[in-house]
């Protein structure tokens, strides 16, 4: 394992220009790094705060060559980065974390599910679907309802359809362009939780307390940390997540999303080899936030503590909030001085697009969520 320390003041980079890249760069700057981005567009959120910007796709060799010239170490802010590109960077002596293998596994649901099965990690029952016969078999063996998900490039519920009746299966798969898919048995979950972990170059790792996540239209709507799940489930979720990070031999931040059933069983839904929307509240609530952990792991520094200084909640601000023009930020902040506003600097508000978030700390996590929700309601022009 590469134990080289990339000292503060060095130049490092993140591949991707979105809000996760932006918050990575902000954390890197706090630690004294010179941090840049390889961004697909010149005005993406990360470009506004980066020390330097290379504009181009993550799989173009000339862009990667420029990154290799400028940065000693490179991380990513989304999983669909070219694994071959990362391997190319690593071969040129750039420290790349997460490594290409972690990315390669987690960017394809079939590879990810196979990896989890090989390591005895509980998931929903699943079957691969490459042709009509496999789809028919999946329906017979898994039963209904089931969820059909494209193996590649799905996020926020995109690239997936629910099948409730056998005669819907063919049309459902056609709606996904008959792409290679995973068919998953439907999990009657009681809650969705996630655990953000970080693993250092020395193999030491930390896990934040599980977060309770609520979704709306398949997009994360709110997070509360710690999740009110009790100490046994909490420990089990953290151990499962840390075990996965170790099995992947991943260095960096890795988030594990779980379904929690009413009988207390944990089922892994998916992995994200990066900071996660459910970990944004660690910026204010944890001893060390998830983005700083990403920088520390990347640069071979010791990881920071992952304990919470206070419970917290986060609510996402989606583009829908802009339907009547720019939201009245001052009104929401006036409601509660404990509300922290994060805007990602995106120019165009589109319904469903993540534009920012609000975080509130409170001794009681549920109260933090109520306060954050109340502040967002002001932005919506509603009372609650």
Binding site for ligand AMP (CB under 6 A): 124, 147, 154, 157, 184, 186-187, 192, 215, 218, 257, 269-270
The least distance separating ligand AMP from the CB of residue 168, rounded to whole angstroms, comes to 16
The least distance separating ligand AMP from the CB of residue 111, rounded to whole angstroms, comes to 14
Return the number of the residue (189 or 329) whose C-beta is nearest ligand AMP: 189
Return the number of the residue (250 or 278) whose C-beta is nearest ligand AMP: 278
The least distance separating ligand AMP from the CB of residue 3, rounded to whole angstroms, comes to 34
| Residue of 245, 242, 238 whose CA lies nearest to 266 | 238
Backbone dihedral angles phi then psi of residue 52, each to the nearest 5 degrees: -155, 155
Return the number of the residue (113 or 342) whose C-beta is nearest ligand AMP: 113
156-162-168-170 Cα dihedral, nearest 10 degrees = 50
Return the number of the residue (157 or 226) whose C-beta is nearest ligand AMP: 157
Return the number of the residue (157 or 228) whose C-beta is nearest ligand AMP: 157
Output the CA angle 99-130-127, nearest 5 degrees.
75
The least distance separating ligand AMP from the CB of residue 36, rounded to whole angstroms, comes to 30
Output the CA angle 327-375-22, nearest 5 degrees.
65
The least distance separating ligand AMP from the CB of residue 220, rounded to whole angstroms, comes to 8
The least distance separating ligand AMP from the CB of residue 234, rounded to whole angstroms, comes to 20
| Residue of 360, 343, 305, 297 whose CA lies nearest to 49 | 343
Contact 56, 79 (CB under 8 A): no
Return the number of the residue (8 or 125) whose C-beta is nearest ligand AMP: 125
Return the number of the residue (187 or 333) whose C-beta is nearest ligand AMP: 187
Cis peptide before 145 (omega within 30 of 0): yes
Return the number of the residue (149 or 346) whose C-beta is nearest ligand AMP: 149
What pairs with residue 318 in β-bridges? 354
Cis peptide before 226 (omega within 30 of 0): yes
The least distance separating ligand AMP from the CB of residue 302, rounded to whole angstroms, comes to 32
The least distance separating ligand AMP from the CB of residue 289, rounded to whole angstroms, comes to 23
Overall residue count recorded for the chain in this entry: 384
Q: Which string of b and e fits 4-23 if b means at least 16 CB within 10 Å?
A: eebeeebbbbbbbbbbbbbb
Pairing of strands 160-163, 146-150: antiparallel
Contact 315, 300 (CB under 8 A): no
What is the secondary structure of 86-131 as a DSSP string? HHHHHHTT-EESS-HHHHHHHTBHHHHHHHHHHTT--B--EEEESS
Closest chain position to ligand AMP (CB) = 187
């Amino acid at each position: 394992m590469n134990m080289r320390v990339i000292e503060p003041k060095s130049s490092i980079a993140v591949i991707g220009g979105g809000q996760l890249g932006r918050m990575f760069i902000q954390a890197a700057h706090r630690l004294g790094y010179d941090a840049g981005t390889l961004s697909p567009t010149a005005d993406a959120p990360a470009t506004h705060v980066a020390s330097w910007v290379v504009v181009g796709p993550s799989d173009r060799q000339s862009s990667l060559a420029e990154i290799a010239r400028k940065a000693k170490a490179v991380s990513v802010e989304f999983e669909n980065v070219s694994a071959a590109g990362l391997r190319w960077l690593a071969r040129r002596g750039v420290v790349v974390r997460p490594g290409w293998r972690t990315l390669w596994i987690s960017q394809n649901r079939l590879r990810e599910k196979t990896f989890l099965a090989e390591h005895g990690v509980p998931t929903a029952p699943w079957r691969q679907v490459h042709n009509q016969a496999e789809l028919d078999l999946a329906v017979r063996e898994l039963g209904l309802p089931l969820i059909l998900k494209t193996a590649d490039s799905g996020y926020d519920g995109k690239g997936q359809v629910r099948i409730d009746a056998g005669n819907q299966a063919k049309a459902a798969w056609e709606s996904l362009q008959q792409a290679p898919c995973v068919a998953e048995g439907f999990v009657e979950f009681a809650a969705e939780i996630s655990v953000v972990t970080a693993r250092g170059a020395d193999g030491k790792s930390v896990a934040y307390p599980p977060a309770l996540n609520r979704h709306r239209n398949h997009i994360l709507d709110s997070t509360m940390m710690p999740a009110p799940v009790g100490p046994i489930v909490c420990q089990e979720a953290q151990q499962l997540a840390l075990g996965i990070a170790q099995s992947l031999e991943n260095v960096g931040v890795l988030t594990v999303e779980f379904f929690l059933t009413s009988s207390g069983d944990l089922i892994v839904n998916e992995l994200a080899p990066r900071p996660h929307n459910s970990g944004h509240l660690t910026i204010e609530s944890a001893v060390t936030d998830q983005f700083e952990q990403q920088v520390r792991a990347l640069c071979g520094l010791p990881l920071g503590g992952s304990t919470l200084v206070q419970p917290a909640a986060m609510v996402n601000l989606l583009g829908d909030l802009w339907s009547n023009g720019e939201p009245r930020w001052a009104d929401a902040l006036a409601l509660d001085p404990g509300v922290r506003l994060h805007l990602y600097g995106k120019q165009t508000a589109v319904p469903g697009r993540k534009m920012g978030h609000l975080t509130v700390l409170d001794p009681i996590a549920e109260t933090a969520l109520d306060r954050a929700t109340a502040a967002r309601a002001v932005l919506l022009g509603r009372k609650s």
